[in-house]
Amino acid sequence: MKAHSYGTLNPSLLAALTSIVGPQNVVVDKQRMEAYAHDETSREEYGHLPDVVLTPNTTEQIASIMRIAHASRIPVTPRGAGSGLSGGAIPVYGGIVLSVEKMNRILEIDEANLTVTAEAGIVTNELNERLKSYGLFFAGYPMSLETCFLGGNIAENAGGGKAVKYGVTSRYILGLEVVTPQGEVLQLGGKVVKDVSGYDVKSLYIGSEGTLGVITKATIRLLGMPKIASDLLIPFASAQQAISVVPQIMKLGIIPTSIEFMDRISIEMSCSYLNEQLPLDGVGAMLLIEIDGTDEQLVERQLVQVGDLCSEKGALEVYVAEDATNRERIWSVRRNIAEAIKVYSPVQSLEDVVVPIGSIPLVLPKLEYLSRKYDVSIPCYGHAGDGNLHATVIKNPESSKESWLEMEPKILAELYAFVVGELGGKISGEHGIGCKRKRYLKALTGASEYALFKTVKQALDPYGIMNPGKILDEE
């Protein structure tokens, strides 16, 4: 696709936009816009101020905004909570940041059809808290459920710690309301579980990172909450031992809710950040395994099976956490690793490569090789049960920033080439491409497939105003 020429947000256009949403929903002050200039990637490396931030209250307002933006060729960056890790919500070409933060209502809880319909700006955790009293839950939520918005989850097709058993966000999206770049409102899907009535256009928007349209509402399939859940915390002497057990667990015929991997560095950083303690004598890594269900005896038998297998494969101990307090303690350590590493070293690159489950044990030796070759630390943790590992490349405190900026793309290129070329994996399992990984996507995607990406983008967004600078390179 060719680089686009964008229009300027002049005073008359700003007045027209203000008339749509009201002055209380318009931000032009640079200090206030700073919060919208970045996501959880490096502000220094990727951040960019928009020309204006709009916080509409309705789908109709968004449609009107998009019609003006389309007519005037103004770039629009949809934004949820800004908790993304790929630069997907950064307005790299300025223009309009369109935040759905005020569109946060639950519109309907339909117990008969096991669905909930909600606006894109609701916090995922708030949605599940409301559903608890109905004995239902949205199973596709990510690890950042306490901060992320539903719309962002869908735009990124987010995954999380329960994806081994329950899958990622896309499995639960039955219907979507989407505003196109031209300002048309689409109603896609509905409450039906099966639908082969034409092309599956709804799925095209899931994981599209806001580059094809603005997701405003969703109808989500719900599940009954499991009655029983227990966790195993299983330490191993080495990270390789721990990660090598994961494919063996998957062969047992049991589907754990979660199989999380944490190497020692990740655990130590998170424990320090939380002022928490876990037994780490002689420990090189840990697996955190959750099993849930409706039959207490079955859950207990499965816990024993998994624990026995891990013991046979060299586990130092098998700790069982059944009560809510201890389960929350160990899950808090896992959930806070990324934040802990960021506090330790703001200069880093958090990755989320994904490989076939059988290839998981091959990733760690490559990370150790890259760590030695480039003299960097690479803590590793993640959703080992579905092959999705978060390798975080951390700048050596003794090296210069210039050296880091030169080294980082070389490390990532080498890691991605190994994951894709040798293991048949992908460069992102859940964080997305955004602006952070788009150069690597182009280099590691087949020419025909990449051309198809561009064809879709050109057909739906011919002026390139919808979240430009993400996923695809402008040539």
Instruction: Answer yes or no: do 157 and 182 share one domain.
Output: yes
- Structural domain includes residue 82: no
pLDDT tops 60 at residue 341 = yes
At 308, the pLDDT band (50, 70, 90 cuts) reads very high
Cα distance between residue 457 and residue 473, in whole Å: 12
pLDDT tops 50 at residue 226 = yes
pLDDT tops 80 at residue 148 = yes
CATH number of the domain bearing residue 399? 3.30.70.2740
For tokens 């964080």, name the residue: 431
- Structural domain includes residue 244: yes
**pLDDT (average), residues 22-32:** 98
Instruction: Answer yes or no: do 315 and 272 share one domain.
Output: yes
pLDDT value, residue 431: 94
Instruction: Answer yes or no: do 241 and 333 share one domain.
Output: yes
- Structural domain includes residue 300: yes
pLDDT value, residue 305: 97
- Structural domain includes residue 360: yes
> Nearest CA to 315 among 350, 345, 285, 340?
285
Q: Which H or E run includes 70?
A: helix 59-72
- Structural domain includes residue 315: yes
**pLDDT (average), residues 87-93:** 97
pLDDT value, residue 143: 74
Instruction: Answer yes or no: do 124 and 206 share one domain.
Output: yes
At 94, the pLDDT band (50, 70, 90 cuts) reads very high
Instruction: Answer yes or no: do 238 and 300 share one domain.
Output: yes
pLDDT tops 60 at residue 98 = yes
Domain finish residue from 202, 224, 246: 224
pLDDT value, residue 475: 57
Q: Please give the DSSP secondary-structure letter assigned to residue 257.
A: S
Instruction: Answer yes or no: do 200 and 240 share one domain.
Output: no
pLDDT value, residue 322: 82
pLDDT value, residue 121: 98
Q: How many CA atoms lie within 13 A of 431 on its CB side?
A: 28
Residues paired with residue 406 on neighbouring β-strands, in sequence order: none
CATH number of the domain bearing residue 131? 3.30.465.10
**pLDDT (average), residues 113-142:** 94
Residue 176 CA to its chain's centroid (Å): 19
**pLDDT (average), residues 91-116:** 98
pLDDT value, residue 160: 80
Residue 89 CA to its chain's centroid (Å): 12
Cα distance between residue 367 and residue 414, in whole Å: 10
CATH number of the domain bearing residue 321? 3.30.70.2190
Instruction: Answer yes or no: do 265 and 217 share one domain.
Output: no
pLDDT tops 60 at residue 47 = yes
pLDDT tops 70 at residue 372 = yes
**pLDDT (average), residues 6-29:** 97
Instruction: Answer yes or no: do 403 and 311 share one domain.
Output: no
Q: Which H or E run includes 154?
A: helix 150-156
Which residues span the domain enclosing 322? 228-338
Instruction: Answer yes or no: do 178 and 256 share one domain.
Output: no
Q: Which H or E run includes 302?
A: helix 296-312
pLDDT value, residue 1: 44
Domain finish residue from 207, 224, 241: 224
At 473, the pLDDT band (50, 70, 90 cuts) reads confident
Assess contact for 164 and 257: CB atoms under 8 A. yes
- Structural domain includes residue 101: no
Domain finish residue from 224, 253, 285: 224
pLDDT value, residue 161: 83
> Nearest CA to 207 among 18, 467, 432, 470?
432
More confident residue, 353 or 145: 353
- Structural domain includes residue 447: no
Instruction: Answer yes or no: do 235 and 196 share one domain.
Output: no
Least confident of 33-47, 130-144, 180-194, 370-384: 130-144
Mean pLDDT of the chain: 95
SS3 462: coil
At 3, the pLDDT band (50, 70, 90 cuts) reads low
pLDDT tops 90 at residue 12 = yes
At 142, the pLDDT band (50, 70, 90 cuts) reads confident
Instruction: Answer yes or no: do 118 and 195 share one domain.
Output: yes
Residues paired with residue 78 on neighbouring β-strands, in sequence order: 98
**Predicted confidence (pLDDT) per residue in 420-446, tens digit:** 999 999 999 999 999 999 999 999 999
- Structural domain includes residue 185: yes
> pLDDT over 70 for what percent of the chain?
99
Count of the separate structural domains present in the chain: 3
3-state secondary structure 395-410: CCCCCCHHHHHHHHHH
Q: How many CB atoms lie within 10 A of CB 115?
A: 21
Instruction: Answer yes or no: do 252 and 236 share one domain.
Output: yes
With b for 16 or more beta-carbon neighbours within 10 A and e for fewer, the 340-373 pattern comes to: bbbebbebbbbbbbbbebebbbbbbebbeebbee
Return all residues near 29 (Cβ < 8 A) that are at least 6 apart: none
Q: Report, in this order, helix, strand and coil percent for the chain, each rounded to 5.
A: 40, 20, 40
**Predicted confidence (pLDDT) per residue in 178-199, tens digit:** 999 999 999 999 999 999 999 9
